[in-house]
């Protein structure tokens, strides 16, 4: 209801028998209370009124009156400052409210403006994106608009669309800032009744854009697959052991087309140090941890504290028969006097090659209790998982595998919890190999492109995600020290491998990595400190014919390329690709996004297509940046698992890292199609270079 309508409703209520029908008996006549105050037609003013009682004020507040300051009581009446127009002034006066002061008129403001300010300047608006598409019979529109009023956080922008039959509609955009810098106004894709033919934008400052005709997205369609084309080789989520078995089978099945490459740096393996609380963490405890991993004969080792039962004993310890016995110090009366700090320091100093110990958080300086034997254990639940160091493997697929053909690298599961991503890269491998003998188009690709596939970059983290903590993002290497090695933090240990590379890294001052070992984006102790990230670069460096790469992540439905990071102050990104390179990235993206959409109509949004730093966030030290800036590889990133439109709720809904397998299976099929198109992009580039 408008302000004027609310006032009208209030006036009606008062007229129909409110307490203000007549002034109270002890009220002064309005004529003697204050000089007459009047307003011209349509004029607004700030006026102080004397109201007869609190109930009157309550009715005004409930009606939506424009109350300008806190009311106060004066001799039993209520004084209230209200912004009113001429009609509202008459309504209040007729109802018994007495205007006692004209504080300021609307017209007063003009004379009080600072010199040089005459009117609000309209801003200039420009569409950065205006795309439409149809998926599953539904039409969507997505737009981005930039305003020249970049420093005004209150600018409101509205988009108006029109379809061919004359139907129109509007929707608001929201302001997007990144690292404190204005980027644009945007909205999620909007459902429309048909193809939009024009869009315009207008702002609350009076700016209006020129009319724009939205373009179709992605505007590219892959060549059709022939009858009998084989696909759908994925039947379930796959653990690292499953993936290793699939690699072995493919090498055995297609010996003339496949090499298996053992990457040079073995990972830690699915291993943790064995650990136990010596004491009660709720009262007083020391965390005792084996220096070696639990599987190295340290799981099951016992540790205890004892009272020596004699006065004036020094703190001591012995280790025999896999039992560490700590004898607490005593005073002259035979009472134990060792603290938690004493015990932790003593164990670490006496057995530096076997044990380390820290005081459990909250237990510092407390008396060390006598504790019955407790068993050290690595806490890992995957009883069927090998705990030996892991050799990460790559499939090399091609008729000619001597480096003379252009190379494509597809790698996945840098982040352990992204279970669907190895399904995408393995589906690619299976399609290239299974269709080689029967499909001429596939044969042409395999004969002319050298394809490298690393299904799981991070096998240790993946094993932990499958068996212990499904949201594990990082690897299993624990660089934490001191109290951060407390087992309560076990699901936060590890290095984010996609923050561990050398270009635009956290160590160089870029945004998106972290020095906190418990952070989800912990960058490690140094650039390429981890075996897993070093393997990716070693593979690419050893095969300089690799000119294209795709890093497969989940989820969200993004398609991205460098730059992937920026420095916070001024939001300064890594150097931008040239105009020609940027065009190639986008043109290739349209082809690949079109191939993804061909499977089940899934469309990667135009707003989610572009440089990582622009469409997602700054990811300091990511692998695509190193491949692109240091090795000259055109490097892209997938985020599989696009949001799904819910027609019933009219909302976009996320799918997650480990969706029901039917969804993961569909993601594997559509994004494998995108990877096949990437291989085709590579072949086209080689053809053009040779022409």
* Span 267-276, pLDDT tens digits: 999 999 999 9
**Whether the predicted pLDDT of 33 surpasses 50:** no
Query: Do 638 and 618 belong together in one domain?
Result: yes
Task: Decide which of 579 and 18 is more confident.
Answer: 579
pLDDT at residue 405 tops 70: yes
- Residue 674, pLDDT > 80, answer yes
Tell me the helices (H) and strands (E) count for the chain, helix number first.
15, 33
* pLDDT of 24: 35
**Range with the poorest average pLDDT among 55-59, 187-191, 229-233:** 55-59
Catalytic residue among 414, 427, 639, 667: 639
pLDDT at 612 over 90: yes
Q: What is the DSSP string of 24-76?
A: -TTPPPHHHHS------TT-EEEEEEEES-HHHHHHHHHHT-EE-S--EEETT
> Phi-psi category of 206—alpha, beta or left, where left has phi over 0 and alpha has psi -120 to 50?
left
Q: Identify the residue with better confidence: 205 or 108.
A: 205
Here the CATH number for the domain that contains residue 173 is: 2.60.40
CA–CA separation, 638 vs 633, rounded Å? 16
Do residues 167 and 284 both lie within one domain? no
The span from the CA of 585 to the CA of 524, in Å, is: 30
Decide: 331 and 313 in contact? Cβ < 8 Å: no
Residue 111: is its pLDDT beyond 80? no
Query: In angstroms, rounded to a whole number, what is the distance separating the alpha carbons of residues 265 and 244?
Result: 16
What pLDDT score was predicted for residue 34?
47
In angstroms, rounded to a whole number, what is the distance separating the alpha carbons of residues 230 and 427? 10
Count of structural domains, the chain: 4
* Cβ pair 518, 544 in contact under 8 A: no
Asked if residue 20 belongs to a domain, the reply is no
Look at residue 114 in the predicted model and tell me its pLDDT: 58
Write out the two tokens for 512.
């998106």
- Pairwise CA distance, residues 84 & 92, whole Å: 9
Residue 15 covered by a domain: no
Per-residue pLDDT tens over the stretch 187-218: 999 999 999 999 999 999 999 999 999 999 99
pLDDT of residue 75: 64
**Average of pLDDT values for 306-311?**
96
328 prior amide bond cis, ω within 30: no
Supply the pLDDT for residue 415: 97
Average pLDDT of the chain is 91
Length of the chain: 691
Name the nearest CA neighbour of 259 among 143, 366, 400: 400
Least confident of 76-90, 508-522, 577-591: 76-90
Do residues 509 and 616 share a domain? yes
Where does the pLDDT of residue 42 fall: very low under 50, low under 70, confident under 90, or very high at 90 and above?
confident
The secondary structure of residue 482, as a DSSP letter, is G
Nearest to 268 by CA among 521, 531, 473, 457: 531
pLDDT band at 451 (very low <50, low <70, confident <90, very high): very high
Residue found by looking up tokens 């990104």 in the block = 573
Question: Could you read off the pLDDT of 420-449 as tens digits, one per residue?
Answer: 999 999 999 999 999 999 999 999 999 999
Cα separation, 136 vs 659, in Å, equals: 21
- Asked if residue 308 and residue 392 are part of one domain, the reply reads no
Given this model, what pLDDT does residue 28 score?
37
Per-residue pLDDT at 615: 92
Is residue 245 scored above 90 in pLDDT?
yes
308 Cβ contact partners less than 8 Å away, ≥ 6 residues apart: 327, 328, 330
Number of other CB atoms surrounding residue 687 within 10 Å: 11
One domain, residues 180 and 326: no
**pLDDT confidence of 77, banded at 50, 70, 90?**
confident
Q: What is the pLDDT of residue 113?
A: 54
Residues 530, 465, 641: CA angle, nearest 5 degrees: 95
- 62-74 pLDDT, tens digit per residue, is 777 787 776 777 6
C-alpha–C-alpha distance, residues 443 and 432, integer Å: 8
Residue 244 shares a structural domain with residue 317: no
Indicate whether 351 and 479 sit together in one domain. Answer: no
Residue 35 is predicted with a pLDDT of 60
Token code pair at residue 631: 């090795």
**427 annotated active-site:** no
Q: Which pLDDT score, from 0 to 100, does residue 2 have? A: 39
Residue 22 lies in a domain: no
Burial level of 289, CB count in 10 A (0-12/13-18/19+)?
A: buried
Which pLDDT belongs to residue 15?
34
In a domain, 596, yes or no: yes
Are 422 and 558 within one domain? yes
pLDDT confidence of residue 27: 37
Question: Are both 259 and 279 inside the same structural domain?
Answer: no
Predicted confidence (pLDDT) per residue in 347-382, tens digit = 999 999 999 999 998 999 999 999 999 999 999 999
The CATH number covering residue 486 comes to 3.40.630.10
Tell me the β-bridge partners of 84: 45
2 falls within a domain: no
pLDDT band of residue 119 (cuts 50, 70, 90) is: very low
- Between CA 410 and CA 428 the distance in angstroms is 9
Would you give the DSSP letter of residue 126? E
pLDDT band at 309 (very low <50, low <70, confident <90, very high): very high
174 with 262, same domain: the answer is no
Round to whole Å and give the CA distance between 91 and 20: 11
Query: Which H, E and C letters describe 6-28, residue by residue?
Result: HHHHHHHHHHCCCHHHCCCCCCC
Domain co-membership, 418 together with 305: no
Q: Which of 46-50, 454-458, 598-602, 611-615 has the lowest mean pLDDT?
A: 46-50
User: Among 81-90, 160-169, 247-256, 594-603, which is the least confidently predicted range?
Assistant: 81-90
Quote the domain boundaries for residue 628: 240-267+387-689
Joined together, the tokens standing for residue 172 give 């608001």
**Is 6 inside any structural domain?**
no
Asked if residue 31 is part of any domain, the answer here is no
Instruction: Write down the pLDDT at residue 1.
Output: 40
- Is 231 a domain residue? no
Domain boundary residue among 183, 201, 216? Answer: 216
- Say what the pLDDT of residue 71 is: 78
Q: Please say which residue of 200, 216, 232 terminates a domain.
A: 216
> What's residue 95's pLDDT?
86
pLDDT of residue 74: 65
Residues 618, 609: Cα–Cα separation, whole Å: 15
**Whole-angstrom Cα distance, residue 229 to residue 235?**
18
Q: Please name the residues in contact with 307: beta carbons below 8 A apart, sequence gap of 6 or more.
A: 327, 328, 330, 336, 370
Picking from 30-34, 278-282, 473-477, which range would have the lowest pLDDT averaged per residue? 30-34
Q: Residue 383 — φ and ψ, nearest 5°?
A: -65, -20
Question: Taking CA 212 as the corner, what is the angle to CA 206 and CA 217, rounded to the nearest 5 degrees?
Answer: 130
**Based on the domain organization, do 99 and 167 belong to the same domain?**
no
């Amino acid at each position: 209801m408008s302000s004027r309508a609310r006032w009208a409703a209030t006036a009606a209520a008062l007229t129909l028998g409110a307490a203000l029908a007549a002034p109270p008996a002890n009220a002064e006549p309005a004529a003697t209370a204050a000089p007459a105050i009047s307003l011209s037609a349509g004029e607004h003013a700030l006026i102080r009124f004397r109201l007869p009682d609190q109930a009157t004020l309550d009715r005004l507040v409930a009606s939506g009156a424009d109350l300008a300051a806190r009311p106060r009581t004066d001799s039993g009446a209520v004084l209230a400052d209200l912004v009113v127009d001429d009609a509202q002034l008459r309504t209040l006066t007729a109802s018994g409210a007495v205007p006692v002061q004209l504080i300021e008129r609307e017209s007063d403001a003009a004379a009080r403006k600072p010199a040089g300010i005459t009117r609000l300047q309209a801003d200039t608006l420009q569409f950065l994106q205006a795309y439409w598409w149809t998926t599953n019979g539904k039409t969507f529109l997505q737009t981005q608009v930039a305003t020249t009023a970049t420093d005004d956080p209150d600018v409101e922008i509205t988009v108006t669309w029109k379809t061919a039959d004359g139907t129109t509609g509007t929707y608001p955009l929201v302001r997007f800032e990144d690292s404190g810098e204005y980027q644009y106004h945007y909205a999620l894709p909007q459902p429309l009744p048909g193809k939009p033919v024009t869009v315009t934008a207008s702002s609350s400052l009076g700016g209006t854009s020129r009319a724009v005709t939205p373009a179709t997205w992605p505007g590219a369609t892959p060549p059709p697959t022939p009858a009998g084309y084989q696909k759908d080789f994925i039947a379930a989520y796959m653990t690292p052991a499953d993936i290793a078995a699939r690699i072995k089978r493919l090498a055995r099945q297609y010996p003339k087309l496949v090499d298996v490459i053992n990457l040079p740096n073995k990972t830690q393996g699915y291993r943790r140090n064995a650990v136990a609380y010596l004491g009660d963490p709720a009262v007083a405890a020391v965390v005792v941890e084996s220096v070696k991993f639990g599987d190295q004969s340290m799981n099951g080792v016992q540790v205890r504290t004892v009272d020596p039962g004699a006065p004036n004993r020094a703190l001591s310890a012995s280790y025999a028969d896999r039992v560490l016995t700590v004898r607490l110090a005593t005073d002259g009366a035979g009472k134990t006097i060792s603290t938690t700090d004493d015990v932790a320091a003593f164990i670490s100093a006496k057995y530096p090659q076997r044990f380390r110990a820290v005081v459990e958080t909250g237990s510092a300086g407390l008396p060390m209790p006598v504790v019955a034997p407790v068993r050290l254990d690595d806490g890992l639940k995957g009883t069927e998982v090998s705990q030996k160091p892991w050799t990460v493997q790559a499939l090399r697929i091609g008729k000619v595998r001597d480096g003379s053909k252009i190379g494509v690298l597809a790698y996945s599961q840098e982040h352990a919890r992204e279970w669907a991503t190895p399904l995408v890269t393995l589906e690619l491998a299976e399609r290239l190999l299974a269709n080689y003998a029967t499909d001429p188009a596939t044969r042409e690709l395999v004969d002319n492109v050298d394809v490298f596939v690393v299904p799981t970059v991070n096998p240790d983290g993946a094993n932990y995600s499958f068996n212990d903590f499904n949201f594990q993002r990082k690897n299993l290497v624990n660089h934490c020290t001191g109290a951060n090695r407390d087992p309560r933090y076990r699901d936060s240990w590890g290095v984010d491998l996609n923050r561990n590379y050398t270009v635009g890294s956290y160590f160089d001052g870029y945004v998106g990595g972290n020095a906190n070992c418990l952070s989800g984006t912990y960058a490690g102790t140094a650039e390429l400190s981890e075996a897993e990230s070093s393997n990716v670069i070693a593979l690419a460096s050893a095969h300089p014919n690799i000119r294209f790469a795709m890093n497969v992540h989940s989820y969200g439905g993004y398609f991205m390329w460098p730059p992937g990071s920026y420095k916070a102050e001024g939001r300064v990104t890594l150097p931008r690709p040239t105009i020609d390179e940027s065009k190639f990235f986008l043109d290739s993206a349209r082809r690949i996004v079109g191939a993804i959409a061909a499977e089940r109509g899934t469309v990667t949004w135009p707003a989610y297509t572009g440089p990582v730093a622009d469409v997602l966030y700054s990811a300091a030290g990511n692998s695509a940046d190193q491949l692109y800036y240091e090795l000259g590889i055109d490097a892209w990133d997938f985020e599989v698992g696009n949001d799904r439109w819910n027609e019933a709720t009219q909302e976009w809904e996320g799918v997650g890292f480990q969706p029901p397998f039917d969804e993961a299976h569909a993601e594997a099929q559509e994004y494998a199609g995108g990877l096949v198109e990437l291989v085709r992009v590579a072949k086209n580039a080689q053809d053009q270079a040779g022409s």
